[in-house]
Amino acid sequence: MSFEPKIISFLCNWCSYAGADLAGTSRVKYAPNVRVVRVMCSGRVDPMFVVKAFQSGADGVLICGCHPGDCHYSEGNHKAARRIPLLKRMLAQLGIEDERVRLEWVSASEGDRFASIVNEMTEQIKGLGPFSPNGGG
């Protein structure tokens, strides 16, 4: 059986979740590998959530928020934009490839964009293979 990655995605309530919803209602086809967790804001995504996802068996983590300047809470997505790069650098030191964590801005009207991000990420992670903490052991 071919490897089907599990991608946990944290979508902000105001833009990205609506964007994913639009992808659904518009009947855009995209990879079924993404498991959506709705959060109020991308700024709510504690880096601990991302690590916990990997610990619990995720192969990738996708965080989506409103475009810069559009945050419902004005600053939340900026906070995500500061935290995720630092987190990614730390995770790289722990052997987690760059492509496994992705931060993207998806507005409520960007259903197609959400679908293409999910498709692209799914393909990239298929290429990397499964993530198993402590490497197969």
Q: Kindly list the residues in this chain that would bind other proteins in the complex (CB under 8 A).
A: 46-48, 50-52, 54-55, 68, 78-79, 81-83, 85-87, 89-90, 93-96, 131-137
**For other proteins, the closer CB: 95 or 127:** 95
Q: Which is nearer to other proteins, 25 or 93 (by Cβ)?
A: 93
Pick between residue 26 and residue 48 the one whose CB is nearest to other proteins.
48
* Dist. CA 109–CA 40, nearest whole Å: 18
Containing 112, the helix (H) or strand (E) segment is helix 111-128
Sign of the torsion formed by the C-alpha atoms of 127, 58, 80 and 28: positive
Closest approach of other proteins to the CB of residue 32, in Å:
26
Q: What's the token pair of residue 33?
A: 């590998």
Distances (CA, A) of 83 to 45, 55, 132: 9, 19, 24
Least separation in angstroms between residue 84's CB and other proteins is: 8
CB of 6 to other proteins, least distance (A): 16
Minimal distance, residue 42 CB to other proteins, in Å: 13
Question: Residue 109 or 132: which CB sits closer to other proteins?
Answer: 132
| Nearest distance, CB of residue 102 and other proteins, angstroms | 15
109: CB partners within 8 A, 6+ apart: 19, 22
Q: Could you give the CA distance from residue 56 to residue 54 in angstroms, rounded to a whole number?
A: 5
